[in-house]
Structure 1
Amino acid sequence: MKLRILTSAMCAVLALPVSAESVTFSQAWQMVQSDNNGLAASQANVSRYQNLQAGKKSLNLPRSP
């Protein structure tokens, strides 16, 4: 009797409609970029060093050979 109830329950669960929204690669990549803290930290680090380089150029110091 338990096996029959279990089988009926499993069939009912598996028969539920599964709805998954299709996502394009560019949409998925956009979601990864917006939700990944590691990528955000790396981008912030790149921006920091770009700003340091720009600041160094603004000092008008002589260039090293």
Structure 2
Amino acid sequence: MANIDLHFHSRTSDGALTPTEVIDRAAARAPALLALTDHDCTGGWPRRPRPPRGAAYLFSTAWKCR
């Protein structure tokens, strides 16, 4: 079964790490697919345009809807 994680937050929204730090730490677990999903913003996307070696990377956002 593939290791997939589609829910990470960086300090671009409410996380503690930079987008690069988040993706680098996630990459240490050798995922097949991962996504940075900051809340209500896309500011972290251009900071890490390439996926870690051996992983696919999705640009994603967790939008609040009311």
Report the TM range for the smaller structure's normalisation.
Answer: under 0.3
Q: Normalization by structure 2: what TM-score? A: 0.23
Identify which of structures 1 and 2 has the higher relative contact order when contacts are C-alpha pairs closer than 8 Å and 6+ apart.
Answer: 2
Q: Normalization by structure 1: what TM-score? A: 0.23
Counting strand residues as a fraction of each chain, which structure ranks higher? Answer: 2
